[in-house]
């Protein structure tokens, strides 16, 4: 089994698409352009090359997604790719590498499959689409001869290569002119590069109009779903409770098979409910000794992964913690940040609230705590 890594090139300043920030860091229907490219490559280690001084902007755009490495790129795309390849080599290398532009947020898994399959027979593979428009030569604004379309294709990314071969090709590049893609670097080194079928969803965002088209493509494929969750745990002897992933000192603990985090359990059930995928007990049976004393953050991460692997996006989570004590207010912002980190979304999408039940019922008598949550997600139409 070959090891695969992804190299996402995000070095551009992207001024042609308008806006205040480079296009790869702009929101595209609920997630940034680069976050969408990142999620499409998920499952393999992802290395990112960013522009000079763009480290903080990149981290914010990724919203808790963790790349294997980030590297500052060079003055040209070629220099940026070279820097990324060297970073991957320094991290131990790989058998195959997918070199991808951050500005192509839509990457169907089938394209990755075609590319890696093609590398069984070739050093490199690139996705292409046929040139469908009539092509002409221009002479100072005048239309000249029509260029036959036969044998012409538009080349997209990711471009896939045997890692050692493309690293060597980049190290040996000595041409005066800058290459427009990595296939050109590969061919200059004598590597065999084959074409596989590309996909319209891979269109590059270059101009403002491309942004609108990409947004429409994303919006058209997603529907909004809401799920709810509810959880209760009884108090037992102890000196702290875990609430939304945060350790809160208290005169009692919560009893449970895992760490008994009512907040995270309610949110996990809400997320599972939104995608109609059972409940927390179904995914993490209390009868399984693996979950004894488990940190509930992993339940939440699992639910978020289920949504992402379906191409979904978590839009919002609202959780209400119900108890007389401990006080939630002093920990609220820490809890929001922790839930956002676990779900890999901006903090603004997380709401944590608290209420008492006016000393009524089991929570009012201080026998335990409850939490309820609502989650809104957008997922591809079933
Ligand atoms: Mg529970």
39 CA from centroid of ligand 1 (Å): 29
* The pLDDT value given to residue 382: 64
Q: How far apart are CA 238 and CA 256, in angstroms?
A: 12
Q: How far is the CA of 292 from the centre of ligand 1 (A)?
A: 12
DSSP annotation of 324 reads S
Q: What is the model's pTM? A: 0.68
Distance 300 CA to ligand 1 centre (A): 12
339 within 8 A of 316, measured Cβ to Cβ: no
**Interhelix angle for 297-309 vs 332-343, to 10°?**
40
Give me the residues paired with residue 313 across strands: 378
Q: How far is the CA of 360 from the centre of ligand 1 (A)?
A: 21
Ligand 1 center to residue 228 CA distance, Å?
A: 14
Binned at pLDDT 50, 70 and 90, residue 210 comes out as confident
Instruction: For residue 47, give Cα distances in angstroms to 50, 173, 218.
Output: 10, 22, 24
Tokens of 14: 């992207």
Q: How far is the CA of 372 from the centre of ligand 1 (A)?
A: 11
Q: Alpha helices, DSSP H only, in 109-260?
A: 109-118, 163-172, 182-188, 208-221
pLDDT at position 18: 57
116 C-alpha to ligand 1 centroid (Å): 42
Go through the domains of the chain in sequence order and give each one's CATH number.
4-219 (3.90.550.10), 223-380 (3.30.1330.50)
292 DSSP assignment = T
Given a contact cutoff of 8 angstroms between Cβ atoms, the answer to whether 49 and 83 are in contact is: yes
Ligand 1 centroid – CA 63 distance (Å): 27
Going from the Cα of 287 to the center of ligand 1, the distance in angstroms, rounded, reads 13
pLDDT number for residue 108: 87
In this structure, are residues 361 and 227 in contact, taking their beta carbons and an 8 Å threshold? Answer: no
| Cα 346 to ligand 1 centre (Å) | 25
Ligand 1 center–CA 265 separation, angstroms: 5
The 10s digit of each residue's pLDDT in 137-161 is: 999 889 999 999 888 999 999 999 9
* CA–CA gap between residue 156 and residue 167 (Å, rounded): 20
Average pLDDT over residues 184-194: 96
**Residue 339 pLDDT > 90, yes or no?**
yes
Region 295-301: mean pLDDT is 95
CB 17 within 8 A of CB 7: no
The alpha carbon of 268 and the centre of ligand 1 are apart by a number of angstroms equal to 10
Q: Please tell me the predicted confidence (pLDDT) of residue 15.
A: 54
Distance 227 CA to ligand 1 centre (A): 17
Instruction: Considering only the C-alpha atoms of the chain, give the largest distance between any 2 of them, rounded to a whole number of Å.
Output: 86
Q: What separation in Å is there between the alpha carbon of 285 and the centre of ligand 1?
A: 11
Which stretches of 41-158 are assigned E, i.e. beta strand? 46-50, 69-72, 96-101, 124-130, 135-139, 142-147, 153-155
Q: So what's the pLDDT on residue 14? A: 57
- 309 — pLDDT class (breaks 50, 70, 90): confident
CA pair distance 358, 40, nearest whole angstrom: 48
Question: How far apart are the CA of 229 and the centre of ligand 1, in A?
Answer: 10
Q: What is the CA radius of gyration of the chain?
A: 25
């Amino acid at each position: 089994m070959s090891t695969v890594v992804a190299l996402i090139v995000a070095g551009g300043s992207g001024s042609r698409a308008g806006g205040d920030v480079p296009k790869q860091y702009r929101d595209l229907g609920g997630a940034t352009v680069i976050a969408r490219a990142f999620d499409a490559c998920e499952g393999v280690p992802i290395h990112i090359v960013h522009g000079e001084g763009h480290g903080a902007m990149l981290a914010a755009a990724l919203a808790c997604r963790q790349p294997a490495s980030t590297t500052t790129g060079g003055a040209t795309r070629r220099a940026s790719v070279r820097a990324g390849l060297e970073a991957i080599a320094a991290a131990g290398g790989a058998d195959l590498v997918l070199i991808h532009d951050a500005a192509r947020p839509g990457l169907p898994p089938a394209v990755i499959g075609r590319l890696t399959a093609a590398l069984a027979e070739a050093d490199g593979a690139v996705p292409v689409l046929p040139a469908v428009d009539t092509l002409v030569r221009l002479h100072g604004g005048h239309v000249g001869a029509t260029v036959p379309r036969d044998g012409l294709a538009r080349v997209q990314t990711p471009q896939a290569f045997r890692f050692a071969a493309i690293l060597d090709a980049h190290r040996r590049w000595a041409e005066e002119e800058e290459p427009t893609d990595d296939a050109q670097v590969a061919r200059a080194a004598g590597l065999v590069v084959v074409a596989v079928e590309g996909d319209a969803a891979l269109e590059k965002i270059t101009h403002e109009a491309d942004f609108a088209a990409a947004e429409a493509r994303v919006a058209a494929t997603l529907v909004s779903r809401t799920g709810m969750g509810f959880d209760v745990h009884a108090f037992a002897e102890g000196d702290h409770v875990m609430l939304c992933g945060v350790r809160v000192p208290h005169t009692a603990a919560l009893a449970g098979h895992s760490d008994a985090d009512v907040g995270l359990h309610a949110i996990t059930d809400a997320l599972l409910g939104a995608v109609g995928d059972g409940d927390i007990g179904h995914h993490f049976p209390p009868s399984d000794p693996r979950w004894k004393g488990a940190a509930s953050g992993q339940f939440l991460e699992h639910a978020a992964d289920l949504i992402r692997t379906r191409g979904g996006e978590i839009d919002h989570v609202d959780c209400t913690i119900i108890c007389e004590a401990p006080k939630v207010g002093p920990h609220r912002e820490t809890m929001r940040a922790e839930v956002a980190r676990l779900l890999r979304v901006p903090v603004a999408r997380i709401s944590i609230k608290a209420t008492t039940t006016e000393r009524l019922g089991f929570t009012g008598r201080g026998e335990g705590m409850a939490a309820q949550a609502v989650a809104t997600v957008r997922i591809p139409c079933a």
